[in-house]
């Protein structure tokens, strides 16, 4: 029996969200995927603020960078400064390959930085590798919030 | 993947070091080793050595253990961006929690069975070597 593996995908682009869902399906990795559309909504989800009272604690967050309201790097910083959230793995998943963004993300303790390949096959392969590694090879904390 | 992927493996068990070297030997990696946390920090802080693209860090080691070493790396302005993956036999929830809260980039347990251990290492090298964009220090 496989345990559900809750993942929070944070992306403002509906096309990109569908691409990620498609790639995970293609890879045959079953994840319990939740979606937020910007950093502010993601923080509300992680903190179980209304209307996210019954949100599960994700085993990992896939975080876009360029988003309205609160961008991915700002949301990452807020997560790392929050005692209750800081242990949640956050993987940046973005089209930006700008080394300034990469340096800032690792400097703010992103767990990994993955750029979205433009080509669909490469995109699917990259997402498949990511999903398999984090859901099967890596141990993450399943601890509930107290 | 960078031209040459520099990997630092920190483990006090020579058998485990050997296994890593054998398993990843046919990938295009430069593997460096350190036998404990002190040796690892010494390696990382010496300008004679290449900056590793990834550190694999055991937990239970003499002198300076893996969690202490992790804290030292992640609170060092110059070193904190280097991805550190814990690679340990410990399944203890406290170790897992403590590792992530001290900003380990991932936590992987060593399977007892040799074939499984090799597969885990290959998965790990595949993810960090091909999918991930790594920081480039100016």
- Residue found under tokens 């070297």: B21
> B124, A133: Cβ pair inside 8 Å?
yes
Both tokens of B22, joined, read 């054998």
Cβ contacts of B70 on chain A, cutoff 8 Å = none
CB contact under 8 A, A113 and B127: no
Tell me, what's the pLDDT at B26?
81
With an 8 Å Cβ cutoff, is A95 touching chain B?
Answer: no
A55 by DSSP, 3-state: which? coil
Residues of chain A with pLDDT under 50: 1, 143-146
pLDDT tens-digit series, residues B32-76: 999 999 999 999 999 999 999 999 999 999 999 999 999 999 999
Q: How far is CA B24 from the centre of its chain?
A: 13
Spatial distance between the Cα atoms of B101 and A145, rounded to a whole number of angstroms: 14
Structure tokens at A124: 């699917």
Convert the pLDDT of each residue in B66-117 to its tens digit.
999 999 999 999 999 999 999 999 999 999 999 999 999 999 999 888 889 9
Condensed to tens digits (0 to 9), the pLDDT of residues A17-26 reads 999 999 998 8
Given pLDDT bands bounded at 50, 70 and 90, which one contains residue B2?
low
The token pair at A101 is 């963004």
d(CA A7, CA A56): 9
Q: Which two tokens stand for residue A131?
A: 């999903």
Residue B14 has pLDDT above 50, yes or no: yes
Q: A59-89: per-residue pLDDT in tens?
A: 999 999 999 999 999 999 999 999 999 999 9
**pTM of the full structure:** 0.94
Distance from CA of A37 to the nearest CA of B (A): 23
Q: Are B69 and B37 in contact (CB under 8 A)?
A: yes
Q: What's residue A114's pLDDT?
A: 97
As for the ipTM of the complex, it is 0.93
Chain-chain contact of B107 with A137 (C-beta, under 8 angstroms):
no
**pLDDT, position A30:** 86
When CB atoms are compared, the residue of A89, A130, A137 closest to B120 is A137
Other CB atoms within 10 Å distance of the CB of residue A144? 7
Instruction: Test A129 with B124 for CB contact under 8 angstroms.
Output: no
Strand, helix or coil for residue B3: coil
- Backbone phi, then psi, for B59, in 5-degree steps? -100, -55
């Amino acid at each position: 029996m496989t345990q559900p593996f809750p993942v929070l995908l944070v992306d403002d682009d509906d096309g990109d969200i569908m691409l990620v869902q498609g790639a995970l399906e293609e890879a045959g990795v079953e994840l319990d995927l939740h979606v937020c559309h910007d950093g502010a909504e993601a923080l509300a989800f992680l903190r179980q603020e209304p209307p996210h009272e019954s949100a599960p604690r994700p085993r990992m967050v896939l975080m876009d960078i360029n988003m309205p309201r609160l961008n991915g790097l700002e949301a990452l910083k807020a997560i790392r400064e929050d005692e209750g959230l800081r242990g949640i793995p956050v993987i940046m998943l973005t089209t930006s390959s700008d080394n300034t963004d990469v340096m800032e993300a690792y400097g703010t303790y992103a767990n990994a930085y993955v750029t979205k390949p433009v080509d669909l096959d490469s995109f699917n392969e990259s997402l498949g590798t990511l999903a398999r590694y984090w859901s099967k090879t890596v141990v993450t904390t399943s601890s509930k919030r107290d | 993947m960078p031209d040459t992927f520099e990997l630092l493996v920190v483990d006090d068990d020579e058998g485990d070091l050997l296994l890593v070297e054998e398993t990843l030997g046919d990938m295009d990696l430069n593997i460096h080793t350190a036998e404990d946390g002190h040796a690892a920090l010494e390696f990382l802080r010496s300008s004679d050595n290449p900056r590793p693209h990834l550190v694999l860090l055991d937990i239970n080691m003499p002198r300076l253990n893996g969690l202490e070493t992790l804290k030292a790396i992640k609170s060092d302005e110059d070193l904190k961006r280097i991805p550190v993956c814990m690679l340990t036999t410990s399944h203890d929830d406290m170790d897992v929690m403590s590792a992530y809260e001290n900003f380990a980039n991932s936590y992987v347990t060593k399977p007892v069975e040799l074939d499984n251990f090799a597969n885990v290492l290959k998965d790990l090298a595949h993810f960090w070597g091909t999918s991930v964009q790594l920081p480039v220090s100016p």
